[in-house]
Amino acid sequence: MLRLRGAVRVLVDGRSEHSGDVWIEDGRVVDPPADPDAAADTVEEVDVSGCVVTAGLVNAHHHLLQSGFRTLPGTRGVPMRDWLPTMAAAYATAGIDASLTARTAAVGLAESLLAGVTTVADHQLNWPVPGPDPAQEVADIAAAVAEAARGLGARLVFVRGTARDDAIVAAEGAEAVVERLLGSSHDGGVSPDGTLQIAVGPAGVHSDAEDTFRRLGEVASRHGLRRRTQANEQVDTEIALDRYGRRPLDLLQEWGWLEEGVTIAHLCDVTEVEIERLAAAGITATHAPGCDVPMGWGIAPVAALQAAGVVVGLGTSGGGSNDAGHLLADARLAMQVSGLVGAPLSARTALGMATEGGALGLGRSDIGHLRSGARADVCVWDVSGVADAGVADPVAGLLWASPGRRPRDVFVGGMAVVRQGRLLTADEGSLVHDLDARIQP
């Protein structure tokens, strides 16, 4: 049994918090023993005095491949129609294969853990030119990403995405990923230990046609997978109107993707009527301000979405647009810009998006909170230094104070993966070297 002892504040979830201890046993959060002193001989203790304790953060929208392609010339301050081919050219030069995705995933996931992110939803949209067995090539790439996550101790949601892929190839690839990574041992695409989940997700109506959405929807239905896509960022709306004469959500509804089990990222350009449609359909959303703001796509009206009953998670998107996987920083940004598009978000609301909001969008009730029975994904944030001096509310201070804050300790399933700010499961220098060696010309 593990006892995190003496926290200034424990943020259990968006409704409950307390001071004191967190108890962990067999990888789960548990209630305190009836007589804690009597159990002292069998308990490992970690002193968390001077710290705030939260659930591990859930990055509901990442593109781990982009971790190898940050701040490329021609990708900053340009419209998406220019950004996309620049990124595609960089991928083509490097050559997308399992060796590349293994290294980009390892770097992106290590960065995530060091920033307190214990679960990452990786939307893999880009693939090599199909060879003689494209489904197995997809499965090889997915397996490489999953192996990187397993080695680092992170939870992974691998989203078999598409961006102009052939619809049949996309569906066959999704089937191959499920078979390779999960076989028949899964519940709704989640492995028995909860460390791996499979989902499907076209990039959006701007890149993928109805047949792709329908075929991937059929795969999801067969295996009980979650479905995830992107909609109503600036370019998505423009292309949908130009190509189809209709708005993206109209198309998604017609194509069978405006229903429960679907999560939509971005949603910067939505009307009041569309928000009500999303809520009525049971859609969950992902806010990605760290991508949307610098790309000029706008700001999702999070407060209005939540007021309508839409569960909203938080994602960083990838290194090609955000350049970082620091979800807490993006929670801070979400809070700071929220007043520009309606009611301001509180720090607790933003933290809720970064934890349980993202988990619920993944269909996961076992992560994103610290209620008894939850998987023990835990972050310990030191708030005892000068950056937090004078802070009256230490939970709000996690976001308002100390930009760039990182956790002191991180546990995944009760196992320490970061202690005193140091990654325990891999050598950072080796990860950087391996990626550089793979992508440098």
Q: Which residues of the chain have pLDDT under 50?
A: none
Query: Which H/E stretch holds residue 43?
Result: none
Distance between CA 337 and CA 93 in Å, rounded? 37
Q: What is the pLDDT of residue 90?
A: 96
Q: Rounded to two decimals, what is the model's pTM?
A: 0.97
Q: What share of the chain is helix, strand, coil (3-state, %, to 5)?
A: 40, 20, 35
Domains of the chain, earliest start first: 2-55+368-423 (2.30.40.10), 57-361 (3.20.20.140)
Q: What is the pLDDT of residue 172?
A: 97
> DSSP per residue over 140-182, as a string?
HHHHHHHHHHHHHT-EEEEEEEESS--HHHHHHHHHHHHHHHT
CA dihedral 352, 192, 134, 168 (to 10 degrees): -70
User: In sequence order, which ranges of 209-326 are alpha helices (DSSP H)?
Assistant: 210-223, 234-244, 248-254, 272-281, 289-295, 302-308
Q: What is the pLDDT of residue 79?
A: 85
Distance between CA 37 and CA 20 in Å, rounded? 15
Distance between CA 363 and CA 184 in Å, rounded? 19
Neighbours of 350 (CB within 10 A): 28
Q: Which two tokens stand for residue 271?
A: 């009307």
Distance between CA 159 and CA 109 in Å, rounded? 15
**Considering Cα of 305, then 309, then 315, then 318, what sign does the dihedral take?**
negative
CA 266 to chain centre: 13
